[in-house]
Amino acid sequence: MSYFDAASAAPLHPVARQALHASLDEGWADPARLYREGRRARLLLDAAREAAADAVGCRPDELAFTSSGTRAVHTGIAGALAGRRRTGGHLIVSAVEHSSVLHSAELHAGNGGTVTQVAVDRGGAVSPEAFAEALRADTALACLQSANHEVGTVQPVAETAEVCAAAGVPLLVDAAQSLGWGPVGGGWSLLAASAHKWGGPPGVGLLAVRKGTRFAPQGPADERESGRAPGFENIPAIVAAAASLRAVRAEAADEAARLRELTDRIRTRVPLTVPDVEVAGDPVRRLPGIVTFSCLYADGETLLHELDRAGFSVSSGSSCTSSTLTPSHVLRAMGVLSEGNVRVSLAPGTAAADVDRFLEVLPGAVAAVRARLGAPGGADPRPAETETAETPETATTGTKSAGADRDGAATAGPLVLDALGKLCPLPVIELAKVFGGVPVGGTVRVLADDEAARLDIPAWCAMRGQEYVGEEPAERGSAYVVRRLS
């Protein structure tokens, strides 16, 4: 089995396993106690804090260990907003932040605060200028991930931190995906990360709050971890997390070069061997081990199962996976195709042979999924122009055909395709089936109530060289209008 989902959780690093086992015998006591066992536990905790702080680029007394990366984000945002409540209640986040940031933003808005989401470009990156435009006199905090968890795009943290610092606004950085590859540069104020992303044990996060940052811990007071993470520290897991972070950093330069070559191989080969594929994310400013692509006319959940049966564990931001009913907010913000999405995230040590085997298996897996859905298999989906939209194949989709004069010019109204009640990728598949019956210059009005259609129909138009006219209100769902150009 080839595990290609390291962006969700990396396999436990051998150094982490060794450190965990060793510290179970020495780090079980209360580090706040003065007797021998307590002093031993305190020494282990202090050493782990120093090692982690060195990796982060902060002072040991600026770093607290939390129960998870999500908890670190929640605590960091809540504490920073509370510490600057006199400034105002305005929060800035990027549109592609991790859900832990966006959920905190939703809670803040629900409690009367205001939130601005900064848009990204098609590669998934923000611009520092966009953050500068979002800053206001009442801005209390800004948040920006160091690198995106779905497409791997690296964000301009240092430049954005400079913009925020000039306005006197602290910047919180979610460094979960990137910290194992190197420190986050720039003048950030707060930083959160999670050990299971770099090969440490799950259940350990860290939160760094630099001196001079106004911060007010929320919830009942606790004397542990500077009041930022109440409860008894899991010292064995913390020691293992710090040890594995140091270990992966030592290997980072060589592994980054090797994994980047493997993901470049995927980015290059997949569009050549699988028709109608869109590769997402910045091709240059990206993490070494992550590559994401979407396959037109494919069901994301079925494709993941197909790859799992072939021995590959991958993830997906597709709306047609069992874990979600809406497209990935990251892919939606980028404006790229979401259906049939596959995220490959390679862990350090991934063998090149496993990647080559994946590239051999993928085309057949995608073709099999498309065939089950009755979708075009990758050739131009448009039937011959002599066919009409009222063929037996298309009549079952609930269409009404526009007319055409003897010169082939469009007349009357648009063809109406009823795809209501159909989930991704069926609306796009049905659109492809009827589109050949539309005269050049004519339009199709696709009625759909699946959220993914808002993203996937414009993406289909871009991939097929047709014009996406826009979205119109409808009695149910929305109407998406497409004009045939050729």
The pTM of this model reads 0.87
Per residue in 138-174, pLDDT (tens digit) is: 999 999 999 999 999 999 999 999 999 999 999 999 9
What pLDDT score was predicted for residue 412? 52
Find out whether 420 and 399 touch, Cβ atoms under 8 Å: no
Tokens, residue 100:
């832990």
Tokens, residue 460:
């289909």
Element containing residue 295 per DSSP (H, E)? strand 290-295
Catalytic residue flag (residue 320): yes
Closest by CA to 405, choosing from 441, 380, 354, is 441
What pLDDT score was predicted for residue 402? 44
Helices (H), ranges, 125-215: 128-134, 157-166
Distance CA 369, CA 340 (A): 9
Closest by CA to 8, choosing from 154, 177, 192, is 177
Q: Which residue in the block uniquely carries the two structure tokens 């009549």?
A: 395
Per residue in 77-116, pLDDT (tens digit) is: 999 999 999 999 999 999 999 999 999 999 999 999 999 9
Min mean pLDDT across 165-174, 218-227, 339-348 is at 218-227
Distance CA 42, CA 224 (A): 12
Q: How far apart are the first and last CA of the chain?
A: 45
What pLDDT score was predicted for residue 394? 37
Residue 311: count other Cβ atoms within 10 Å of its Cβ: 13
What pLDDT score was predicted for residue 393? 36
Indicate if the pLDDT at residue 383 is higher than 70: no
For range 202-210, the mean pLDDT: 97
pLDDT grade for 463, boundaries at 50, 70 and 90: confident
What pLDDT score was predicted for residue 326? 67
For range 60-89, the mean pLDDT: 97
Find out whether 43 and 203 touch, Cβ atoms under 8 Å: no
Distance CA 74, CA 346 (A): 28
Q: Which residue in the list 58, 295, 320, 461 is annotated as catalytic?
A: 320
Element containing residue 104 per DSSP (H, E)? helix 99-110
Distance CA 337, CA 420 (A): 20
Find out whether 334 and 280 touch, Cβ atoms under 8 Å: yes
User: 144 vs 156, 349, 364, CA distance in Å?
Assistant: 9, 29, 38
What pLDDT score was predicted for residue 325? 52
Per residue in 8-20, pLDDT (tens digit) is: 999 999 999 999 9
All domains of the chain in start order, with CATH: 11-248 (3.40.640.10), 252-372 (3.90.1150.10), 392-483 (3.30.110.40)
What pLDDT score was predicted for residue 395? 35
What pLDDT score was predicted for residue 486? 87
Tokens, residue 244:
């594995």
Find out whether 100 and 174 touch, Cβ atoms under 8 Å: yes
Indicate if the pLDDT at residue 62 is higher than 90: yes
User: In one letter, which amino acid is 443?
Assistant: T
pLDDT grade for 319, boundaries at 50, 70 and 90: low
Mean pLDDT, the chain, whole residue set: 90
Distance CA 434, CA 234 (A): 60
Find out whether 151 and 334 touch, Cβ atoms under 8 Å: yes
Per residue in 249-288, pLDDT (tens digit) is: 999 999 999 999 999 999 999 999 999 999 999 999 999 9
Tokens, residue 205:
């996060």
Report cis status (omega within 30 of 0) of the bond before 425. yes
